[in-house]
Structure 1
């Protein structure tokens, strides 16, 4: 069953290839949606996939790429939007 999560990642997550790494991980897991930087230095993700796929992404988000320093990952379930790919928004 397809689920949709809104995910906010807090910490040192901009300028460390977090968006591109998230896109790579999401595509590897078969997740659709998008990732973007927020003006307050957080990263925001909308992700769609199975419960197991999304849990794997959440676990990865808590670590992130090599130079990231994640303080917190906040997520909530929301309405499915049927994304076709996983994109980086600017």
Structure 2
């Protein structure tokens, strides 16, 4: 059974390879979805896949890559979307 979540990450998360690192981690976990910058400085992450993998990605998002500083993370269940692989959206 596949589930989906949408998260918004706040802090120093743009210009620090946050989307690329999120993409790599999600692919390692076998998730599909995307990461994209928001106009307010945050990053939106949509992911779908196995529940355990989503939990692992959510845990990773609390810290992100080395240069990031995560000040806040809001995640909620989401409706499945038609996505293949994990990508960076612009």
TM-score when normalising by structure 2: 0.97
Asked whether 1:68 is paired with 2:68, we answer yes
Q: Partner of 1:83 in structure 2?
A: 83
Rounded Cα–Cα distance in structure 1 between residues aligned with 2:83 and 2:3? 11
For 2:78 and 2:61, locate their aligned partners in 1 and report how far apart those are by CA, in whole Å: 18
Q: What value does the CA root-mean-square deviation take over the aligned residues? A: 0.7
Q: How many pairs are equivalent?
A: 90
Partners of 2:2 and 2:86 lie apart in 1 by: 15
Deviation beyond 6 Å, 4+ runs, structure 1: none
Q: Tell me, which stretches of 5 or more residues in structure 2 are unaligned?
A: none
Q: Distance in 2 between matches of 1:21 and 1:78?
A: 22
1:4 maps to what in 2?
4
Report the equivalent of 1:13. 13
TM-fit CA distance, 1:78? 1.3
Displacement of 1:82: 3.7
Gaps of 5+ in 1: none
The TM-score, its normalising length taken from structure 1, stands at 0.97
Aligned partners of 2:72 and 2:44: how far apart in 1?
12
Aligned to 1:29: 29
